[in-house]
Structure 1
């Protein structure tokens, strides 16, 4: 079990690159310093500065592309942020923001938006107007739904919505043809409707800590999938066509109700790690899996 945790740690420790500034351009740590520089300031880091509101003078920095306001005391998305029309990266992680205004659509150059660890209960429909958005981080909020308009963010590469209260995925999710990472762990998903997984470039799908009893048959459409995490659900059976995920190399199914895996599991020739701890797997099934997956490290 210890080895399993080590594997999981190194395989999936993520680095939130939304917080990383461009090292080729000057980065300022106060508005006054930025304003006195005399140039067209493009990067400002106001992280951990005990701010309760966004300073009014920030609107004078009209060339800002990168703004980090992480870990302050902001309770709202201040209107002066909407004047920063050239913003490409906006980090608001770890504040106490309760809503994002519909005027967010004015920031139409945004590529990365990090609003994780706030007090959001919904994302505005207008999020779909951010057509250049590539990374959306909204983990650890209180979201109950994902707006249908998310499908209009067709440049999205990563969508992180873990640790919310989401119980339904919009049909438009399947429009995100460039999506590579989808994080939905720790939500309230009891089922996933069909036609949500037409995501040809998805490489990583995390669905841990939900209440899934089964997976949709069209999960086989995830032809690029390399990592699938389904720990702590209530799965009793996997679809037989799961074996069509030929690029899958990491499959974690810990703490479900699985007694056996698909009969043609040997077709997963690229599978390197299979985690089955906490399932009622018989000794005969364990032996079968070890024989059919000789290239794979299996944890029972």
Structure 2
């Protein structure tokens, strides 16, 4: 009996967990009673695949999910261009417990969710909203991921430089202005920037950084400001065109993980051995 009890408790926990989460992939249809469930997590994906399924639309009934903490709403970019009904309803702002949002359906409502702690946005051509609204109201953000497709070279993200609680930022294909704004946040402990070319990186204000990932940026050298980050533990510079590393890397006494594969390195400085 005592051996069976833990298994029963585990099963009950699994059942309870399953009842609070609803995951709808590309091929899944939207259940008619989705808004009646006591959900804490909702994942909805639309797209083109090996199946044919009606587009899953979130409407005003989402306000009934009062305990929802995490929402993923993702749509195939081609389907988004042809379906104007794919959007986030205004009622999403009534979800006071929503802390995590991941979507490529960008609307005004996203930037009014003041309780968000984690936000992941993927932009196509719809970047104008970043100038108009920006991130200024999202003062509780701790983790932010922004991925860009086609965008003007002078694109900026309003409020990005002044996020009081931000700890982690991930940027894919950003502009120089976006990079500069992100690196104004002194509270950052981790940053990932990828798919850039010809950009500069000034980490001098990011004194609390522990992790930097600059993979896939066509860098020809290690940004000099990195060598002054005394708290840095992880540095990844893979898939660039770096041929040399300055002996100043010895200043990174807490560095425990240093990735440089797929570069054009001739040698590494002996001083690297002085790192942890």
TM-score (norm: length of structure 1): 0.66
1:155, distance to aligned residue in structure 2 (A): 1.2
TM-aligned CA deviation for residue 296 of structure 1: 4.7
2:68 corresponds to: 87
* Change beyond 3 A, Cα 1:77–1:143: farther
User: Matched residues in 2 for 1:174 and 1:69: separation?
Assistant: 30
Residue 162 of structure 2 corresponds to 175
* 2:81 is aligned with 1:111: no
Give the corresponding residue for 1:229.
213
CA distance in 2, matches of 1:134, 1:214: 28
Higher deviation after alignment, 189-198 or 231-240: 189-198
Equivalent residue for 1:271, pick from 238, 252, 255: 255
Give, in whole Å, the separation in 2 of the partners of 1:255 and 1:28. 40
Could you tell me which residue of structure 1 aligns to residue 272 of structure 2?
293
Give the direction of change, closer, same or farther, for the CA distance of 1:221–1:171 in structure 2 (3 Å limit). Answer: farther
Answering whether residue 22 of structure 2 is matched by residue 45 of structure 1, we say yes
Is residue 241 from structure 1 mapped to residue 225 from structure 2 by the alignment? Answer: yes
Q: Does 1:142 align with 2:127?
A: no
Counterparts of 1:60 and 1:213 in 2: how far apart (Å)?
49
Q: Residue 210 of structure 1 is aligned with which of 191, 196, 202?
A: 196
Instruction: Check the 8 A contact 2:59/2:88 in 1, yes or no.
Output: no
The answer on whether the counterparts of 2:247 and 2:271 sit within 8 Å (CA) in structure 1 is no
Deviation at 1:252, TM superposition (A): 1.5
Q: What SS does structure 2 have at the residue aligned with 1:150?
A: coil
1:143 to 1:109, Cα distance in 2 relative to 1, 3 A: farther
Whether the 8 Å contact between 2:215 and 2:238 is mirrored in structure 1 is yes
* Number of equivalenced pairs: 245
What secondary structure, in the 3-state scheme, does the structure 2 residue paired with 1:194 have? Answer: helix
TM-superposed deviation, 1:132: 1.0
Matching residue of 1:68:
42
**What's 1:6 paired with?**
none
Q: Which has the higher strand share?
A: 2
Name 2:4's counterpart in structure 1.
Answer: none
Distance (whole Å) between structure 1 residues aligned to residue 42 and residue 35 of structure 2: 15
Cα deviation digits, residues 223-258 of structure 1 (max 9, x gap): 221221112212234443222211212212223233
Q: In structure 2, do the counterparts of structure 1 residues 253 and 84 end up closer, same or farther at CA, with 3 Å as the change threshold?
A: same
8 Å contact from structure 2 (residues 227, 252) kept in 1:
yes
1:250 aligns with 2:234: yes
Q: Is the Cα–Cα contact under 8 Å of residues 54 and 80 in structure 1 kept in the other structure?
A: no
1:256 and 1:125 map into 2 onto residues whose CA distance is 37
Aligned twin of 2:180: 194
1:130 Cα deviation from its structure 2 partner: 1.2
Q: Cα RMSD (Å) of the superposition?
A: 3.4
Cα deviation digits, residues 124-180 of structure 1 (max 9, x gap): 2332321111112335x6365373432321111222234755664414112222222
1:53 is displaced (CA, Å) by 4.1
Q: Secondary structure at 2:114's aligned position in 1? A: coil
